[in-house]
Amino acid sequence: MSGATRVLVLNSGSSSVKYQLIDMADEQRLASGVVERIGEPGGVPDHTHALREVALDLKARGSGLDSPDLAAVGHRVVHGGTRFTAPTLITDEVLAGIEELVPLAPLHNPANVTGIKVARELRPDLPQVAVFDTAFHSTLPEAAARYAIDTATADRYGIRRYGFHGTSHAYVSRATAALLGKEPADVNVIVLHLGNGASASAVRGGVCVDTSMGLTPLEGLVMGTRSGDLDPAVVFHLERVGGMGTDEIDTLLNKKSGLLGLCGANDMREIGRRMAEGDKAAQLAFDVYVHRLRRYVGAFSAVLGRVDAITFTAGVGENSAAVREAALSGLHNLGVTMDPVRNAVRGSAARLVSAETSPVAVAVVPTDEELEIARDTYGLAAPADKNLADHSG
């Protein structure tokens, strides 16, 4: 094992495989890419071919899948249910366990499973590790994880709040502590992961105590195409009065709602441009998005009691000064004072955008889920070499 310090991170989605090769000796990225349109016209036919393309690309860059430098493969897996609460070395039994969770994540887990199978076929000798999107939220107290429905029914069908984007929330909450010059154990953070999917989490001393996504990634914040929170009776109403079927409603709420449903665009840049031109639908979409964010900031402030930092991450969170400003303006009673000049500065590094005097720090921290997966993978697969790159932050 000694000498092998590279980790291949695979994120296998239903129609794409994203990959990064990271050398854990210095955490440098050696290669990254994406194979898209799997099973679609103009794309590769299936995941086996997709991974072959990944292998070809890695080979062309001088670090093929057969390279002795490769220490392990880390796989992003969306749903770990209540069984997988930490990164897990993949065995046949673990793989079967991930397959058993398909009913909870019918869109995501099958692609993850396929990616794992193909990677294991290509390198059966290598340790392969599953890193779960739900794991960081497994510490949610029952009061936060339980829905207030009949307990027997909930348990029978595995209905509870699992949360997602956990790898990002874990990485960003720790990086926030580092930015403040503190240990994660000493910091309470609200993390706002605002990408195409969006979620908030409340992290107390490094431990996640609440999160906005639930049984599935549909709950919580307004997202690019997902509605986030709504009265569950909307579903019955659409069925009874609107005559819509379950799958149709599922598609409506997951794919045609959120910003897209409100204004026809799911990209915050386009919404910003249209707002500047006085477009009312775009303005409404922005307002609904921001209103929901403020609600969660208020709710999670109350959940945490003491808040040391509020951190924005992912595409919208890292880039949209307008969203950050609108979400946190006028929250002096919660101890939040933004610095408009700092907030307007664009940058790619972790930074503070709050006023020097603000009791609650407001931070922008670029997320790095691949690095987090690589660290988790390397930590499990190569414990003897772990001291090489044990500078988490």
Residues in touch with ligand ADP (CB under 6 A)? 195-197, 224, 266-269, 314-316, 319-320
CA angle 306, 307, 308 (to 5 degrees): 120
Length reported for the chain: 393
Contact 87, 129 (CB under 8 A): yes
CB nearer to ligand ADP: give 235 or 326. Answer: 326
Would you tell me how many other CB atoms lie within 10 Å of the CB of residue 16? 17
Annotated binding site: 11, 18, 76, 193-197, 267-269, 315-319, 369
CB nearer to ligand ADP: give 59 or 269. Answer: 269
Choose, from 23, 46, 133, 339, the residue flagged as catalytic: 133
CB nearer to ligand ADP: give 90 or 316. Answer: 316
Task: Supply the minimum distance, in Å, between the C-beta of residue 329 and ligand ADP.
Answer: 17
Tell me, yes or no, if 133 is annotated catalytic.
yes
Task: Supply the minimum distance, in Å, between the C-beta of residue 203 and ligand ADP.
Answer: 19
Task: Supply the minimum distance, in Å, between the C-beta of residue 225 and ligand ADP.
Answer: 10
| Alpha-helical segments (H) within the chain | 47-60, 92-100, 109-122, 142-145, 151-157, 166-179, 233-240, 246-255, 258-263, 268-276, 280-304, 314-319, 321-328, 340-344, 369-381
User: Which are the contacts of 98, defined by CB distance < 8 A and separation ≥ 6?
Assistant: 77, 80, 84, 109, 112, 113, 116, 130
Distance CA 305, CA 209 (A): 12
DSSP for residue 281: H
Mark 276-285 as b/e (b = at least 16 C-beta within 10 Å). Answer: eeebeebeeb
CB nearer to ligand ADP: give 88 or 367. Answer: 367
Task: Supply the minimum distance, in Å, between the C-beta of residue 314 and ligand ADP.
Answer: 4
CB nearer to ligand ADP: give 239 or 267. Answer: 267
Task: Supply the minimum distance, in Å, between the C-beta of residue 106 and ligand ADP.
Answer: 19
Contact 363, 311 (CB under 8 A): yes
Which residue number has the CB closest to ligand ADP? Answer: 315
Please give the positions annotated as active site.
Answer: 133
